[in-house]
């Protein structure tokens, strides 16, 4: 069995008593955990033996650290490797020269060298410590000289474990094994110090809760709540990346609820806690916040049922689809509550927030489109829509049509089984009609029956704005009537031109 270092003990300097006395040793590695670590090391035997041997021969330490060790112990698949060493970046480059298939130095300013060997991607980082100055958006990095010191700077104890190479001993100075078994997130030192060093760890805590199903230790929750405003110094891109990982996790609801509970959402997605509309004895209506979380859950369930991969655009749209309600809420006679045009306001708000978080433009646009369209189906009634209305519904959704199907179905959260069943039947009908029209008319390729050259020839005009206007008229004609004979379309075009040409 690999050697295990007990929590609080520095392999180089001996026991640490700065945290209030000796701590009990962590549990022995279980048979399954031993097998997991052995399997991890077997899967990377080339790196474990060859690269570990290279560093050892040169008098340097090397260890697998952080996520790969944690994931192996959890039985999760390990794709890429994070290694740490006492060698400085230039020395790392010398040691991997001629051995790695490819090397890159994008992160070398932060002490990281990337490489590829066979099918594995590896990052090797010099022992280091990071700290943010009070108003800095970037950490100050300094190199360390011990594995213990490097692990001490890690975000959580479950990420502060290492497997030494090539000897394969497990290093666990802060009780990560025990916290892994308990499913608890703790920090190696005081959480206030950890979150001060890198405030993004506050977001990472709620992300791990959603991703791994862990709970936050009480002191971690308290520190996160008290220091949430420190997220303001972190770049929008780094916050966005954590939010993306949270939203694509198996249980994003848990992460969102923690963000709201701890006041983190106020600094990342302030629109979400604002959806917790007060309910009083005179104006009763659904809690928009809880409804939105339920829609998110149901959208994820439908993803799985339909064999879809976790879909960021769909999940963001589910979370934000009613974000415009607080701004549009109005009270009418008889205690009725309305949210007129909240889908339009919500689309604008969604795009503004996601843009501020530096999401790609296509994600911002797609989420905004889904939010703006999420109510469209509710005008369908019992199937009274004409074929032209169905065509427009499919045309307006475009490449987002399947996502719109899922979002619209997920938006039904009524507890009235009869009403829910009726809505489901209606949406079954609209999907069937879209499929039929798509098969007959290739809805995803709808174009006017005449192209620009034909428009110019029939009207006897050259290129210019009138051609574009005529094209849009013919597109509406196509949506209204379906495919038409070209002679009939030409006749309609001439009538339109007679009214619109000076």
Three-state helix/strand/coil letters over 249-281: CCCHHHHHHHHHHCCCHHHHCCCCHHHCCCCCC
55 and 169 share one domain? yes
Read off the pLDDT of residues 130-154 as tens digits, 9 standing for 90 and up: 655 666 656 666 788 899 999 998 9
Is residue 208 in a domain? yes
Mean of per-residue pLDDT scores for the chain? 85
Is residue 25 in a domain? yes
**E-state strands within 37-171:** 62-65, 81-85, 102-104, 112-117, 120-126, 128-131, 140-143, 162-165, 170-171
434 and 325 share one domain? yes
d(CA 341, CA 348): 11
Residue 108 · residue 90 · CB < 8 Å: no
Instruction: Say what angle helices 252-261 and 288-305 make with each other, to 10 degrees.
Output: 160
d(CA 25, CA 176): 11
Domain end, chosen from 246, 268, 290, is at 268
**Nearest one of 33, 14, 17, 31 to 176, comparing CA atoms:** 33
**Nearest one of 134, 149, 327, 319 to 233, comparing CA atoms:** 134
**E-state strands within 16-153:** 62-65, 81-85, 102-104, 112-117, 120-126, 128-131, 140-143
Residue 268 · residue 243 · CB < 8 Å: yes
d(CA 360, CA 369): 14
Q: What is the mean pLDDT of residues 197-224?
A: 96
Is residue 212 in a domain? yes
251 and 338 share one domain? no
* Token couple for 143: 């190199």
Residue 346 · residue 325 · CB < 8 Å: yes
474 and 408 share one domain? no
458 and 364 share one domain? no
Residue 502 CB partners (closer than 8 Å, separation 6+): none
Is residue 393 in a domain? yes
Cα angle 408, 412, 415; round to 5: 175
Domain end, chosen from 179, 201, 233, is at 179
Beta bridge partners of 9: 15
- Give the lowest-confidence range in 184-198, 223-237, 409-423, 431-445: 431-445
DSSP codes, 421-444:
HHHHHHHHHHHHHHHHHHHHH-GG
396 and 415 share one domain? yes
Is residue 274 in a domain? no
Residue 471 pLDDT greater than 60, yes or no? yes
* Token couple for 456: 């110019």
d(CA 139, CA 137): 7
Query: How would you classify the pairing of strands 215-216 and 184-185?
Result: parallel
Cα angle 50, 87, 4; round to 5: 70
Residue 393 CB partners (closer than 8 Å, separation 6+): 376, 377, 385, 430, 434
Q: Rounded to two decimals, what is the model's pTM? A: 0.79
Q: What is the mean pLDDT of residues 312-325?
A: 96
Is residue 276 in a domain? no
Q: How confident is the model at residue 379 (pLDDT cuts 50, 70, 90)?
A: confident
* Token couple for 55: 């560093």
Burial class (CB in 10 A: 0-12, 13-18, 19+), 397: buried
More confident residue, 81 or 277: 81
341 and 482 share one domain? no
d(CA 152, CA 138): 20
421 and 482 share one domain? no
195 and 297 share one domain? no
pLDDT the model gives residue 19: 38
Query: How would you classify the pairing of strands 170-171 and 9-10?
Result: unpaired
Is residue 184 in a domain? no
63 and 207 share one domain? no
pLDDT the model gives residue 128: 82
123 and 15 share one domain? yes
Residue 164 · residue 146 · CB < 8 Å: no
- Give the lowest-confidence range in 166-170, 206-210, 258-262: 166-170
205-214 core/surface letters (b: 16 or more CB in 10 A; e: else): bbbbbbbbeb
Is residue 273 in a domain? no
121 and 242 share one domain? no
Q: What is the mean pLDDT of residues 325-345?
A: 84
Beta bridge partners of 14: 10
Residue 29 pLDDT greater than 90, yes or no? no
Domain that holds residue 466: 452-500
CATH number at residue 167: 3.30.460.10
- Give the lowest-confidence range in 28-37, 76-85, 162-171: 28-37
Residue 61 · residue 164 · CB < 8 Å: yes
Looking at the structure of the chain, the number of domains it has is 4
Domain end, chosen from 179, 212, 230, is at 179
Q: How confident is the model at residue 353 (pLDDT cuts 50, 70, 90)?
A: very high
pLDDT the model gives residue 443: 55
CATH number at residue 213: 1.10.110.30
DSSP codes, 226-254:
HTGGGGGGS-HHHHHHHHHHHHTSS-HHH
pLDDT the model gives residue 440: 65
* Token couple for 266: 């106020």
């Amino acid at each position: 069995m690999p050697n295990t270092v007990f929590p609080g003990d520095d392999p180089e300097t001996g026991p640490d008593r700065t945290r209030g006395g000796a701590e009990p040793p962590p549990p022995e590695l279980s048979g399954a955990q031993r097998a997991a670590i052995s399997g991890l090391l077997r899967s990377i035997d080339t790196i474990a033996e060859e690269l570990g041997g290279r560093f050892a021969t040169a008098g340097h330490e090397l260890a697998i650290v952080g996520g790969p060790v944690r994931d192996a112990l959890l039985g999760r698949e390990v794709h890429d490797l994070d290694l740490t060493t006492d060698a400085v970046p230039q020395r790392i480059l010398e040691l991997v020269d001629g051995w790695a298939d490819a090397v890159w130095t994008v992160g070398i300013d932060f002490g990281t060298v990337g490489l590829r060997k066979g099918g594995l991607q590896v990052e090797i980082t010099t022992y280091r410590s990071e700290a943010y100055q009070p108003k800095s958006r970037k950490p100050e990095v300094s190199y360390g000289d011990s594995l213990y010191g490097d692990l001490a700077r890690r975000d959580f104890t479950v990420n502060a474990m290492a497997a030494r190479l090539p000897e394969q001993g497990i290093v666990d100075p802060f009780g990560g094994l025990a916290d892994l078994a308990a499913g608890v997130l703790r920090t190696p030192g005081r959480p206030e110090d950890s979150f001060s060093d890198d405030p993004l760890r506050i977001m990472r805590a709620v992300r791990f809760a959603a991703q791994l199903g862990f709970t936050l230790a009480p002191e971690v929750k308290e520190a996160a709540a008290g220091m949430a405003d420190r997220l303001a110094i972190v770049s929008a891109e780094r916050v966005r990346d954590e939010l993306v990982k949270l939203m694509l996790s198996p249980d994003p609801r848990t992460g969102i609820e923690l963000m709201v509970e701890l006041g983190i959402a106020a600094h990342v997605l302030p629109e979400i806690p604002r959806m917790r509309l007060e309910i009083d004895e005179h104006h009763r209506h659904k809690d928009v916040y809880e409804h939105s979380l339920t829609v998110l859950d149901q959208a994820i369930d439908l993803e799985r049922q339909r064999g879809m991969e976790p879909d960021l655009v769909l999940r963001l749209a589910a979370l934000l689809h009613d974000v415009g309600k607080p701004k549009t809420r109005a009270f009418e006679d008889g205690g009725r509550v309305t949210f007129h045009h909240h889908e339009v306001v919500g689309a604008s708000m969604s795009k503004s927030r996601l843009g501020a978080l530096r999401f790609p433009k296509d994600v911002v646009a797609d989420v905004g489109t889904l939010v703006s369209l999420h109510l469209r189906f509710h005008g369908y009634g019992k199937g009274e829509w004409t074929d032209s209305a169905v065509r427009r519904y499919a045309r307006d959704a475009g490449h987002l049509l399947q996502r719109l199907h899922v979002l619209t179905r997920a938006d039904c959260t009524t507890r009235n089984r009869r009403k829910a069943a009726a809505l489901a039947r209606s949406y079954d009908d609209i999907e069937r009609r879209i499929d039929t029209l798509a098969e007959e008319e290739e809805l995803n390729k709808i174009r006017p029956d005449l192209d620009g050259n034909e428009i110019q020839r029939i009207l006897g005009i050259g290129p210019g704005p009138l051609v574009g206007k005529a094209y849009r008229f013919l597109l509406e004609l196509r949506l209204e009537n379906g495919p038409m004979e070209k002679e009939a379309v030409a006749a309609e075009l001439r009538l339109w031109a007679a009214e619109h040409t000076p």
